[in-house]
């Protein structure tokens, strides 16, 4: 049997263990900033920049000369060392903007006993660490809906302050199309209805902006470790559900969760966007490294359009 009722205002409030962060991220933000800096520092020494060919002063690589290219591009000194003609390529240095969205809805403040921190805290750490790494590489970074982008070395502090002031949000903001020279990184649990996710993602990518969707999940949401009489609270709908044998729901829950994740992938894929899952019981550095690798990739046609511009 399933019983449901609407929560009282007191019951609808976030759990005590993360209520301070839910009502205002400012209390948790100093700790999250420290964690973000440590996370970015753990991978930054192994990175070599988001290298791609283009106009710039720094040498990148030699490559074989292709028929039809201008002979003026040939590096005759390098070519004289072998039997082939080579072109000297420089590293593309024009900074563009990476826009990051951090989901601050009520469900993001959930943390089970299987995780060390709430989903919102991990999302904030990942966003700030990514901003730190990108700014070090000469990029501009901004938070969607929270002010203009910045290339300042103080980007972590600037963006952390904006997140702290913003506090909790009710869901996805209106989606304004991003420039083709921009890139979006969306970090959240994406538990909203699929049509709302499609509207948001499709709106941001309407003009061809590339993007990446990172789903943050608590391990309890993935494994459904519940059994016996269990009470669940939906913080978005503000309702409470009681199940006599929670373990009987495990299989159906898994099917619906996988279907929802597949729908999310199918929303992102037609736009050329990547999608990934990160659990809060795993190190944030894993997600950061994987996300940075995605950001470093450039489709050839997009690269050509940017260089032509």
- Tell me the per-residue pLDDT of 90-104, one tens digit each, with 9 for 90 and over: 644 445 789 999 999
Instruction: Tell me the CA distances in angstroms from 135 to 46, 49, 96, one per residue in order.
Output: 16, 11, 11
List strands edge to edge, sheet with 97-102. 140-143, 97-102, 182-188, 210-217, 274-279
The pLDDT confidence band at residue 3, using thresholds 50, 70 and 90, is very low
Distance CA 306, CA 119 (A): 35
Average pLDDT of the residues of the chain: 81
pLDDT tens-digit readout, 268-306: 999 999 999 999 999 999 999 999 888 877 543 343 333
Collapsed DSSP state (helix, strand, coil) of residue 188: strand
> What does the H/E/C string look like for 226-272?
CCCCEEEEECCCCEEEEECCHHHHHHHHHHHHHHHHHHHHHHHHHHC
Comparing 15-19, 59-63, 260-264, which segment has the lowest mean pLDDT? 15-19
163-174 per-residue burial string, b: 16 or more CB within 10 A, e: under 16: bbebebeeebee
Contact 27, 19 (CB under 8 A): no
The whole-angstrom distance between residue 112's C-alpha and the CA centroid of its chain comes to 22
The dihedral built from the CA positions of residue 193, 194, 199 and 203, taken in this order, carries a sign that is: positive
Delimit the domains of the chain by residue range.
2-50+93-308, 53-91
Output Rg (C-alpha) for the chain, integer angstroms.
Answer: 23
Task: State percent of the chain over pLDDT 70.
Answer: 79
Q: Which helix (H) or strand (E) holds 102?
A: strand 97-102
Task: State percent of the chain over pLDDT 90.
Answer: 39
Q: Residue 244: exposed, middle, or buried by beta-carbon count in 10 A (0-12, 13-18, 19+)?
A: exposed
Does residue 56 carry a pLDDT above 60?
no
pLDDT tens-digit readout, 185-220: 999 999 999 999 999 999 999 988 999 999 999 999
Distance CA 134, CA 152 (A): 11
Higher-confidence residue: 270 or 65? 270
Residue 8: the pLDDT is 53
pLDDT tens-digit readout, 27-43: 778 888 899 988 888 87
Distance CA 298, CA 216 (A): 24
Q: Are strands 182-188 and 210-217 parallel, antiparallel or unpaired?
A: parallel
* Average pLDDT estimate for 56-71: 69
């Amino acid at each position: 049997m399933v019983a449901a009722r609407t929560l009282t205002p007191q019951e609808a409030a976030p759990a005590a263990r993360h209520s301070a962060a839910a009502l205002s991220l400012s209390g948790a933000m100093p700790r999250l900033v420290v964690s973000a800096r440590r996370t970015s520092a753990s991978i930054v020494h192994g990175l070599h920049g988001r290298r791609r060919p283009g106009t710039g002063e720094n040498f990148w690589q030699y490559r074989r000369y292709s028929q039809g290219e201008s002979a003026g591009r040939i590096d005759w000194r390098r070519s004289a060392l072998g039997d082939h003609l080579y072109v000297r390529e420089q590293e593309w240095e024009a900074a563009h903007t990476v826009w990051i969205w951090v989901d601050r809805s009520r469900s993001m403040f959930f943390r089970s006993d299987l995780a060390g921190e709430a989903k919102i805290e991990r999302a904030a750490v990942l966003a700030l660490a990514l901003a730190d790494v990108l700014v070090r590489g000469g990029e501009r970074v901004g938070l969607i809906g929270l002010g203009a982008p910045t290339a300042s070395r103080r980007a972590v502090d600037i963006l952390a302050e904006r997140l702290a002031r913003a506090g909790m949000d009710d869901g996805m903001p209106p989606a304004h199309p991003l420039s083709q020279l921009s890139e979006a990184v969306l970090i959240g649990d994406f538990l909203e209805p699929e049509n709302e996710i499609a509207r948001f993602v499709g709106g941001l990518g309407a003009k061809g902006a590339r993007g990446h969707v990172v789903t943050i999940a608590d391990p309890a949401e993935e494994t459904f470790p519940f059994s016996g009489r269990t009470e669940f609270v939906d913080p978005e709908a503000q309702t409470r559900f009681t199940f006599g044998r929670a373990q009987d729901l495990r299989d159906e829950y898994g099917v619906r969760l996988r279907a929802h994740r597949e729908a999310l992938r199918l929303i992102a894929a037609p736009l050329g966007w990547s999608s990934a899952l990160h659990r809060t019981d795993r190190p944030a550095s894993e997600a950061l490294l994987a996300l940075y690798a995605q950001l470093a990739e450039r489709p050839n046609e997009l690269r050509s359009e940017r260089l032509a511009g």
